[in-house]
Each structure stands twice: as structure tokens, then as C-alpha cells.
């Protein structure tokens, strides 16, 4: 908004974006998948399908952030995206190795429709640009997971694999990454890219909602 400078401008844009898409974010954060997982009502089949799909997307996230790294507008932005990639490969993928070993999971020959749609959709946003649209899409996903993970129900969730996975998204490092995505979006948004940002944010929410609905149907 004209006339706003510094932290006021930066805070207002990301918050306004979430306000404009509040209905979609509420549907995502309050998704039946999360609610069932928190109270121990998720079937074993749904849990396993979710972890297989989620691992597929985490691998796709390497490509998504690689596209964003190539477009990073500053060295500071590039350094931070490198740290995100490091966390994906060395922390999240390592956790999936443990989850797969514990649950006896293996990757299917082909991804499920919703997993492929989320991975392809988010990759297309990051690849086609603008940079701000890719940051917006990932901020929608990561901010929502941070909100879900910080709810009180996870500490008592009966499934340890789900509990550990969502605990990762409540850790300070992950939440700091969410804050960075929001601040980065605030810093790079312009009148020129605002329509692309809105479209990417909405598209990410829609893809995520379907991604989490699919394991329940399975």
C-alpha cells in the first residue's frame, strides 16, 4: 500500500493476504484429516497413505525450492532457501526414513492423483514465476502446517509417528521458516505481481485440501 514503509508495510500485506483467503485457510487448518489424526480416529490405511503422499511432496519440495533459489532476488534470500533445502534433505527426509522403517512402508510405482497434483501444481507455480507467486504458494502451505502443529491436541495424539511428524512443524526452526516466507513475500510483492500472488495462494490451498482429503477416502 502506498505510503507504508518498513515493518508496517511488510506485516500488513501478508496478513491481508491471509485475511482475503480466510475461508480457504480455515478449511485447510480445520481439515477433517488433521482433526481425526489428533484424536486418534484416523485409520491405519489413511495414515499410511498420507505418509507416502507426504514423502512424495517433500521430495518435490526440493525441486520447488530449487526453482525459487534460481530466482532469488538477493544473496540473503538465496542463503535462506539453501538452508530450507538443507532441512528438507537432512531433517525431513531422514525422519521419513525412520517413519517408513517403523511402519513398513514403501513407495508405490506411481504417486496417487492428489500427491501428483500437489507436487506438479506447486512446482508449476514456482517454475513459471514470478518468484513472489512461488513464495506465496509455499507460505500458504507452511503457515497452515505451523498453525495445525501448534494446536494443543498433538501432545496427546495416540499415534507416535503422526505426533513426531507434526511436532517437527511446531519447532522453532520450522516456525522461523514460516516467518521468513511471510516476510519474503511482503518484501517482493508489487502491484505488478499481486494478481499472481493471489492466484498462487488460492491454488495452493485448494491443492492442499484435496491432498489431505484423499487419504481419508482411501
Instruction: Tell me the per-residue pLDDT of 46-93, one tens digit each, with 9 for 90 and over.
Output: 999 999 999 999 999 999 999 999 999 999 999 999 999 999 999 889
- What is the separation, in whole angstroms, between the first and last Cα of the chain? 45
Q: Which of 120, 111, 104, 92 is nearest to 47 (CA)?
A: 104
Grid cell 515493518 in the structure block, residue: 7
Sign of the C-alpha dihedral computed for residues 110, 114, 201 and 148 taken in this order? negative
- Which residues in 47-77 are b (16+ Cβ under 10 Å) and which e? bbbbbbbbbbbbbbbeebbebbbebbeeeeb
Written as nine digits, the cell of 36 is: 481425526
What is d(CA 13, CA 165) in angstroms, rounded to the nearest whole number? 30
What local confidence, expressed as pLDDT, does residue 2 receive?
32
Ranges of each domain in the chain: 42-217
Alpha-carbon 82 to chain mean position? 17
**Model pTM?**
0.91
What is each CA distance from 163 to 84, 106, 157, 168, 215, in whole angstroms? 22, 20, 6, 9, 17
Q: Is the distance from CB of 57 to CB of 211 less than 8 angstroms?
A: yes
Query: In CATH, what number does 42-217 get?
Result: 1.20.910.10
Considering only the C-alpha atoms of the chain, give the largest distance between any 2 of them, rounded to a whole number of Å: 57
What local confidence, expressed as pLDDT, does residue 125 receive?
98
Q: Is the distance from CB of 17 to CB of 195 less than 8 angstroms?
A: no
Q: Which of 122, 140, 125, 118 is nearest to 185 (CA)?
A: 140
What is d(CA 183, CA 82) in angstroms, rounded to the nearest whole number? 17
What is d(CA 149, CA 187) in angstroms, rounded to the nearest whole number? 26
What local confidence, expressed as pLDDT, does residue 11 receive?
53
Is it true that the peptide bond before 42 is cis, omega within 30 degrees of 0? no
Residues of the chain below pLDDT 70: 1-11
Amino acid at each position: 500500500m502506498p505510503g507504508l514503509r518498513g515493518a508496517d508495510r511488510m506485516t500488513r500485506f501478508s496478513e491481508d493476504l491471509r485475511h482475503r483467503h480466510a475461508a480457504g485457510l480455515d478449511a485447510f487448518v480445520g481439515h477433517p484429516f488433521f482433526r481425526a489424526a489428533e484424536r486418534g480416529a484416523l485409520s491405519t490405511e489413511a495414515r499410511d497413505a498420507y505418509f507416502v503422499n507426504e514423502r512424495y511432496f517433500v521430495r518435490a519440495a526440493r525441486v520447488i525450492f530449487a526453482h525459487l533459489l534460481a530466482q532469488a532476488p538477493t544473496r540473503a534470500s538465496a542463503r535462506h532457501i539453501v538452508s530450507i533445502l538443507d532441512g528438507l534433505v537432512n531433517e525431513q527426509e531422514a525422519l521419513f526414513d525412520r517413519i517408513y522403517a517403523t511402519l513398513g512402508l514403501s513407495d508405490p510405482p506411481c504417486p496417487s492423483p492428489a500427491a501428483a497434483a500437489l507436487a506438479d501444481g506447486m512446482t508449476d507455480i514456482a517454475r513459471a514465476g514470478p518468484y513472489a507467486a512461488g513464495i506465496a504458494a509455499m507460505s500458504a502451505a507452511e503457515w497452515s502446517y505451523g498453525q495445525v502443529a501448534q494446536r494443543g491436541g498433538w501432545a496427546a495424539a495416540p499415534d507416535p509417528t503422526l505426533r513426531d511428524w507434526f511436532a517437527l512443524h511446531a519447532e522453532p526452526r520450522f516456525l522461523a521458516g514460516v516467518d521468513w516466507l511471510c516476510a519474503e513475500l511482503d518484501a517482493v510483492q508489487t502491484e505488478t505481481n499481486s494478481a499472481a500472488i493471489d492466484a498462487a495462494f488460492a491454488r495452493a490451498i485448494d491443492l492442499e485440501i484435496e491432498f489431505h482429503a484423499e487419504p481419508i477416502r482411501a
